[in-house]
Amino acid sequence: MKPINPKGEQREVKLTLDVEAAELLLRLAGSSRKQGEYVSNLIRQAAKQTNFAELEDLEEGDVAPTRSQMQRMRRELLARIKALEENVTELKAQNK
């Protein structure tokens, strides 16, 4: 992966969350200004754990990943999302 540069190029993305997830994001990030950084780091971590970052090295004209590679990466990302959802559920249970 490329080095992380917090002052580097950024892109605004509209993200709709349910109320509970939005509140958890705010608590996990520490402040509303740090939410984007928190989500960016979470996405990088998920990509690293699923080898999804391999796509970053592709240049125009390179051979794209095969369908089976994309399906594997999709399964791995879905598994990571499920694990993160379980973590959120655990945090929610701890805070009751």
**DSSP E strands, 1-96:** none
pLDDT of residue 2: 46
Please report whether residue 52 resides in a domain.
yes
CB atoms within 10 A of CB 52: 21
Please report whether residue 27 resides in a domain.
yes
In the chain, the number of structural domains is 1
pLDDT of residue 3: 45
Q: Which residues span the domain enclosing 83?
A: 19-56+64-94
Please report whether residue 49 resides in a domain.
yes
Please report whether residue 6 resides in a domain.
no
pLDDT of residue 59: 54
Q: How many CA atoms lie within 13 A of 82 on its CB side?
A: 6
pLDDT of residue 96: 74
**How do residues 27-49 score in pLDDT, each as one tens digit?**
999 999 999 988 888 888 877 77
Q: Got the DSSP string for 39-74?
A: HHHHHHHHHHHTTGGGGGG--TTSPPPPHHHHHHHH
pTM of the predicted model as reported, rounded to 2 decimal places: 0.48
pLDDT of residue 9: 81
Positions of the chain with pLDDT lower than 70, given as ranges: 1-7, 51-64
Token duo for residue 73: 């990466």
Token duo for residue 81: 């999302």
pLDDT of residue 56: 57
